[in-house]
Amino acid sequence: FHDSGEAVDEVELAIEGALRPTSLSEFVGQHKVRGQMKLLLEAARIQDRPADHILLSGPPGLGKTTLAMIVAHESGRPLRMSSGPAIQHAGDLAALLSSLTPGEVLFIDEIHRMARSAEEMLYLAMEDFRIDIMVGKGAGATSIPLELAPFTLVGATTRSGLLPNPLRDRFGFTAHLEYYEADELERVVERSAIVLGVGVPAVARAEIGRRSRGTPRIANRLLRRVRDYALVHGGGSSASVEDVKAALELYDVDRIGLDRLDRAVLDAIVRRFRGGPVGLSTLAVSVGEEADTIESVVEPYLVRIGFLGRTPRGRVAMPEAYAHLGVTHPEGAAL
């Protein structure tokens, strides 16, 4: 159920779209961020101007795209979606920016992966709603200023540390999304179950919530697999807690919600590297996954639940990880 690596087909994407809340009041959890965004949007509405630029950071599946859509929806403005990898030249960005209509919300996902030359153009655009277009080459080159329609940029990144400071400083509001609590995920599941037309009793919802890695996208995916399981093996349009347990076992989601890659990473550190410290790239090669996925998807959750530590010399497994894998901790501590 990891974000990268798994091919998500179009049907799944369409379902994900249908499950997205469209207003801040429907958006579960992230209390603080919701309050801050509400104020930001309200102030912009009173002054009838586009809202300040917003930077959202945090692991995949926590609601960054959803919040960008909500910004557009709540302020009654159109939304343009793009992503860092799609902006490989300053020209790509110039084309995008110059086609925005007044007040439009521009969402750039994975903004840390945008080309350097585009980044510099973006500074000026964010600050003055203006860009300089270079025409010609060498000694005869000149720059032509181009006025832009005022817009709101919503940038999303899994790695805010990778953003250059001048870019980060130009966002009026920066929010870091945290992993969700189990009871919040239970509410996400409750809402999605209604949309999907599947009956899920509270105990079963709680079980899904506990095993969703703190991530709404995963909660929604697990719910769909549980629905499938109930359809094929169980009570048709209603799923029991037994259906949840059987479905999640089938998809290798363990009792605390770790998936195969999470366990492979822990297992490598504990068994192959004797608890660490081990460097990120060595670890990535050892589990056959990209370092970026390990760093931005796997590790943050393992750190958050206290299974993994990041030290200057590398990653180390914590006693809790040994206990979970059923391996005796080298210090012989009774776990």
Binding pattern for the stretch 209-248 against ligand ADP, x by CB under 6 A and - elsewhere:
-------xx--x----------------------------
Q: Residue 106 or residue 270: which is nearer to ligand ADP going by CB?
A: 106
Which one from 213, 217, 225, 227 is the annotated catalytic residue?
217
Q: Is 276 in the site for ligand ADP (CB under 6 A)?
A: no
- Encoding tokens for residue 170? 């130009």
Q: Is 16 in the site for ligand ADP (CB under 6 A)?
A: yes
Instruction: Please indicate whether residue 313 is annotated as part of the active site.
Output: no
128 is in an annotated binding site: yes
64 is in an annotated binding site: yes
45 is in an annotated binding site: no
Residues touching ligand ADP: how many (CB under 6 A)?
A: 20
Element (H, E) at 330: none
Q: Is 27 in the site for ligand ADP (CB under 6 A)?
A: yes
Q: How many CA within 13 A on the CB side of residue 179?
A: 21
Q: What residues contact residue 203 under an 8 Å CB cut-off, 6+ apart?
A: 241
Instruction: Please indicate whether residue 159 is annotated as part of the active site.
Output: no
Q: Is 63 in the site for ligand ADP (CB under 6 A)?
A: yes
320 is in an annotated binding site: no
334 Cα distance to chain centroid: 37
Which one from 77, 113, 152, 158 is the annotated catalytic residue?
158
Q: Residue 83 or residue 88: which is nearer to ligand ADP going by CB?
A: 83
- Encoding tokens for residue 276? 């660490």
65 is in an annotated binding site: yes
Q: Is 155 in the site for ligand ADP (CB under 6 A)?
A: no
Q: How far is the CB of 261 from ligand ADP (least distance, A)?
A: 17
Q: Kindly report the number of other CB atoms within 10 A of residue 293's CB atom.
A: 19
DSSP secondary structure letter of residue 315: E
Contact pick of 24, 44, 57, 66 for ligand ADP (by CB under 6 A)? 66
Q: How far is the CB of 126 from ligand ADP (least distance, A)?
A: 21
The region of 26-34, 133-141, 301-309, 314-322 touching ligand ADP under the rule CB under 6 A is: 26-34
- Between CA 333 and CA 275 the distance in angstroms is 14
Instruction: Please indicate whether residue 282 is annotated as part of the active site.
Output: no
Instruction: Please indicate whether residue 158 is annotated as part of the active site.
Output: yes
Instruction: Please indicate whether residue 109 is annotated as part of the active site.
Output: yes
Q: How far is the CB of 208 from ligand ADP (least distance, A)?
A: 13
- Between CA 242 and CA 240 the distance in angstroms is 5
Longest dimension (CA), the chain: 75
Contact pick of 188, 193, 258, 287 for ligand ADP (by CB under 6 A)? 188
271 Cα distance to chain centroid: 30
Q: 149, 104 in Cβ contact below 8 A?
A: yes
Q: How many CA within 13 A on the CB side of residue 237?
A: 5
Task: Give CA angle at 125 (122, 131), nearest 5°.
Answer: 100
Q: Residue 187 or residue 245: which is nearer to ligand ADP going by CB?
A: 187
Q: Residue 153 or residue 188: which is nearer to ligand ADP going by CB?
A: 188
315 is in an annotated binding site: yes
Backbone angles phi, psi at 321, to 5 degrees: -70, -40
- Between CA 245 and CA 251 the distance in angstroms is 10
- Encoding tokens for residue 50? 């586009």
Which one from 109, 243, 259, 262 is the annotated catalytic residue?
109
Q: How far is the CB of 79 from ligand ADP (least distance, A)?
A: 13
Q: How many CA within 13 A on the CB side of residue 44?
A: 25
- Between CA 274 and CA 190 the distance in angstroms is 42
* Residue ranges at the known binding site for ATP: 19-20, 61, 64-66, 127-129, 170, 180, 217
Known catalytic residues? 64-65, 109, 158, 217
Binding stretches for ligand ADP (CB under 6 A): 16, 19-21, 27-30, 60-66, 156, 188, 216-217, 220
